[in-house]
């Protein structure tokens, strides 16, 4: 089962996995296909089954891009009640994804609070890991540059 391989689903019940799999759709893409673009409605989240996805906040800034590996989830905007995607997702080679509807996932999570808590705890960890990875890659602001760090001046 594809979902068991994704950290978002570790520890949830088999029944919960079956319900999510029942609404998941297997979709295929070719190299260069766009899964979603920044500002598209965030109606789906995805799990990479096979292939390679490049996720970029901008159109072409390769330094800001991340890659998705087999088993990775992306399109998280749909899981955290964002109306629009904040990134672009582009297939780098032939790709197979599980596509899960935001609406259907919301219903499953609402009907099973115990497994929803497990799922959201893993989602929070994944988002935190992603944030920390991005922060490590950015240059640190100079210690005396309070304007850059948005620290109000103390009187």
pLDDT tens for the 155 residues of the chain, in order: 455 557 788 899 999 999 999 999 999 999 999 999 999 999 999 999 999 999 888 765 555 677 776 778 889 899 888 899 999 999 999 999 999 999 999 999 999 999 999 999 988 888 777 666 655 554 443 343 333 333 333 33
Q: Which of 86, 120, 105 lies closest to 46 in space, CA to CA?
A: 105
Alpha-carbon dihedral sign for residues 154, 148, 145, 147: negative
The CA distance from 101 to 130, in Å, is: 22
The CA distance from 52 to 94, in Å, is: 7
Q: Return the domain boundaries, the chain.
A: 2-137
CATH class of domain segment(s) 2-137: mainly beta
- Residue 100 β-bridge partners: 45
**pTM of the predicted protein model:** 0.75
The pLDDT value recorded for residue 80 is: 87
């Amino acid at each position: 089962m594809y979902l068991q391989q994704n950290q978002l689903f570790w520890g949830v019940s088999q029944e919960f996995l079956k319900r999510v799999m029942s609404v998941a759709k297997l979709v295929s893409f070719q190299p260069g296909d766009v899964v979603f673009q920044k500002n598209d409605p965030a109606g789906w989240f995805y799990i990479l089954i096979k292939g390679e996805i490049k996720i970029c906040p901008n159109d072409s800034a390769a330094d800001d891009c991340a890659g998705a590996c087999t088993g990775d989830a992306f399109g998280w905007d749909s899981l955290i009640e964002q109306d629009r995607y904040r990134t672009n997702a582009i297939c780098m080679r032939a790709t197979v994804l599980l596509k899960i509807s935001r609406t259907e996932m919301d219903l499953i999570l609402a009907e099973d609070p115990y497994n929803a808590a497990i799922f959201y705890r893993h989602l929070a960890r994944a988002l935190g890991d992603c944030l920390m990875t991005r922060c490590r890659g950015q240059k640190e602001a100079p210690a005396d540059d309070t304007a850059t760090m948005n620290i109000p001046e103390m009187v």
